[in-house]
């Protein structure tokens, strides 16, 4: 079956009791067992461990990824946490993309280091730097590509090869592109992590996460952490995400096309200093982005001439674009990462990895591209 067919039909069947075409919301804490000897014969006992609605979402994602199993989590950060904790212990070392979501950086530097885990934030766009960072105790490499918010790309096949040689697990945060545009497991990765809050949901309605595992053994380790920490997705969130995924490919095609039009507009605008979008030929890693993904996504950033002060004028006055955190929704969002999504990252570290103060991040939605461009153009006219 094709991806769009699977995003609608995979993992779900009409309800056997009523014939409902939508998977019911099984809002239940516990499940009555037929007998002591038949405990778990129906597959469910307590919803912290497993829930039928959540299982339907996990089955759909497993089909879409072509993987062994998927575990759905309460948030994207819960998914990242489980990915790290499942494979790292005190004294272990992990390599993380130097540009990553601010919450990932905070979790590593302010929480997991307290338990004796060591981290190196390496430029994963340079395989030689990753290889040089490998130690005898390196157990995981976590890459984010395209990276939030600079859009830096990582050669997933090259990093997967380094991880295999080191005996480490390679996990990839694929939130920006989803399995529709990029398939890390097929490029050698072991795990794929998502904030389902973003493109999977697509409607600013839920927070959730998922960890996709290449093998059942990897999934077992992730699920142990999920059950032990109680971080499973709720049935109502799973139900909403199931509905959102049905239009994933259609939304991403339209949003990506809009993003390309907007990137070209900004690149040609006299008040814009620089633009970064993997679909632009001027993007330094355009060839890599084209080679390992089938689409460029709907995330981009730019800087207004005049830096932070000019960017604030634009962000505070632009119409149609909502100034907000989050990304991947049908509504177009504009974000200032230094103040919002990456405020947990120290300024020196932001400067080191290229998250400049004047960086304006765009999450392009489904509106008419002409209207989105006109709104940005009107706001840019207010910049001196």
Active-site option among 92, 98, 123, 173: 173
183 given a catalytic annotation: no
Cα separation, 135 vs 93, whole angstroms: 7
Residue 307: phi, psi to the nearest 5?
65, -140
Three-state DSSP at 230 gives coil
CB 341 within 8 A of CB 101: yes
48 given a catalytic annotation: yes
Helix (H), strand (E) at residue 70: strand 69-73
Residue with tokens 């272990």: 92
Which residue, 70, 285, 79, is CA-closest to 179? 70
Two tokens, residue 71? 């575990």
Active-site option among 48, 106, 131, 305: 48
Two tokens, residue 156? 């997933």
Active-site option among 198, 214, 254, 350: 198
Q: Is 142 exposed, middle or buried (0-12, 13-18, 19+ CB in 10 A)?
A: buried
Cα separation, 327 vs 333, whole angstroms: 7
101 given a catalytic annotation: yes
CB 152 within 8 A of CB 128: no
Active-site option among 26, 101, 105, 194: 101
User: Can you give the three-state secondary structure of 86-146, one letter per residue?
Assistant: HHCCCCCEEEEECCCCHHHHHHHHHHHHHHCCEEEEECCCCHHHHHHHCCCCEEEEEEECC
Cα separation, 190 vs 186, whole angstroms: 9
319 given a catalytic annotation: no
User: Which residues are known catalytic residues?
Assistant: 48, 101, 173, 198
């Amino acid at each position: 079956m094709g991806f769009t067919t699977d995003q609608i039909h995979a993992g779900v069947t009409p309800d056997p009791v009523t014939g409902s075409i939508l998977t019911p919301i099984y809002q239940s804490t516990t499940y009555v067992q037929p007998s002591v000897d038949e405990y778990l014969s129906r597959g469910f006992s307590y919803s912290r461990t497993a829930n039928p609605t959540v299982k339907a979402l996990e089955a759909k994602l497993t089909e879409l990824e072509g993987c062994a199993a998927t575990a759905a989590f309460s948030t994207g950060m819960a998914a990242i946490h489980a990915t790290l904790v499942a494979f790292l212990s005190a004294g272990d070392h992990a390599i993380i993309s130097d540009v990553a979501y601010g919450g990932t950086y905070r979790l590593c530097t302010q929480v997991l280091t307290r338990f004796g885990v060591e981290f190196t934030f390496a430029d994963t766009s340079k395989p030689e730097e990753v290889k040089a960072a490998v130690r005898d105790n390196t157990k995981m490499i976590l890459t984010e590509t395209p990276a939030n918010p600079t859009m830096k790309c990582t050669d997933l096949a090259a990093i997967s090869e380094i991880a295999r040689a080191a005996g480490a697990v390679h996990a990839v945060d694929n939130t920006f592109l989803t399995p529709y545009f990029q398939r890390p497991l097929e490029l050698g990765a072991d795990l794929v992590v998502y904030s389902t809050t973003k493109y999977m949901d697509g409607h600013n309605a839920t927070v959730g996460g998922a960890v996709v595992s290449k093998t059942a053994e990897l999934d077992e380790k992730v699920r142990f952490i999920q059950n032990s920490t109680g971080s499973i997705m709720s049935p109502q969130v799973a139900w909403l995400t199931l509905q959102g995924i049905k239009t994933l490919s259609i939304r991403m095609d339209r949003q990506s096309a809009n993003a390309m039009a907007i990137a070209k507009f900004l690149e040609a605008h006299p008040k814009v200093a620089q633009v970064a979008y993997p679909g632009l030929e001027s993007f330094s890693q355009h060839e890599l982005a084209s080679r390992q993904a089938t689409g460029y996504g709907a995330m981009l950033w730019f800087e207004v001439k005049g830096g932070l002060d000019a960017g604030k004028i634009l962000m505070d006055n632009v119409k149609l674009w909502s100034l907000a955190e989050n990304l991947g929704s049908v509504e177009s969002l504009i974000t200032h990462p230094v103040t919002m999504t990456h405020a947990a990252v120290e300024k020196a570290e932001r400067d080191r990895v290229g998250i400049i103060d004047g960086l304006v991040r765009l999450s392009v939605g489904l509106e008419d591209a002409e209207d989105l461009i006109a709104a940005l153009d009107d706001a840019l006219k207010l910049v001196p």
